[in-house]
Amino acid sequence: MLPRWDYGDPVRVTRNVRNDGTFPGQNTGDLLVRRGSVGHVRNVGTFLQDQIIYSVHFLDSTQDLVVGCREEELIGLDEAWVESRYEVRQKVRAARSLSIRGEVKVPAGSRGEVLNLEREEGQPVLYHVHFDCLPGNPLLVPESALGDYEGASDDE
């Protein structure tokens, strides 16, 4: 298990980083660093001997934070970054009816939760979404077919 980045390397965080209860002075669940933010690696360590953790200094955050990030949450600054409207675990709604083989499975307005994202340069972002009305069957949905869920927080 070798680290991908070293001290001083610039990296971009690919998902919102929230306090898991280990960041002092912040409430659990508070947004620490917004996805897309750029920082520099300050230290490299491990967690449970099987996960590489990077201490990343985010200079562009309003609080000038050093936050621990898992390797899968980071990309190199030279790698393509595709901005997304929604994030993992964010609540969304179907902006239109969604069909499988011509049969409507998700009516417009149905509530869902983003499970994962697929970002490829030059392609629209695709979301793996679990809709409440279709339990156990997540769908791969383009961003254009999703809308904001009423009551969702702006910092998600």
Query: pLDDT class for 155, splitting at 50, 70, 90?
Result: very low
Write down the pLDDT at residue 112. Answer: 96
Write down the pLDDT at residue 1. Answer: 77
Give φ, ψ of 71 to 5 degrees.
Answer: -55, -40
**Regarding predicted confidence, which is higher, 13 or 46?**
13
pLDDT, tens digit (0-9, with 9 covering 90-100), for 137-150: 999 999 999 999 97
Q: Could you give all domains of the chain from N- to C-terminal order, each with its CATH number?
A: 10-76 (2.30.30), 91-148 (2.30.30.40)
DSSP assignment of 32-98: EE-TT-EEEEEEEEEETTTEEEEEEEESSSTT-EEEEEEGGGEEETTS-----S--TT-EEEESS-E
Whether 152 shows a pLDDT value over 70: the answer reads no
Write down the pLDDT at residue 156. Answer: 42
Write down the pLDDT at residue 61. Answer: 56
Write down the pLDDT at residue 47. Answer: 80
Write down the pLDDT at residue 50. Answer: 82
Burial 21-56 (b: 16+ CB within 10 A, else e): eebeeeeeeebbbebebbbbbeebeeeeeeebbbbb
pLDDT, tens digit (0-9, with 9 covering 90-100), for 102-129: 999 999 999 999 998 888 878 888 999 9
Mean of pLDDT over the chain: 87
User: In angstroms, rounded to a whole number, what is the distance separating the alpha carbons of residues 118 and 143?
Assistant: 11
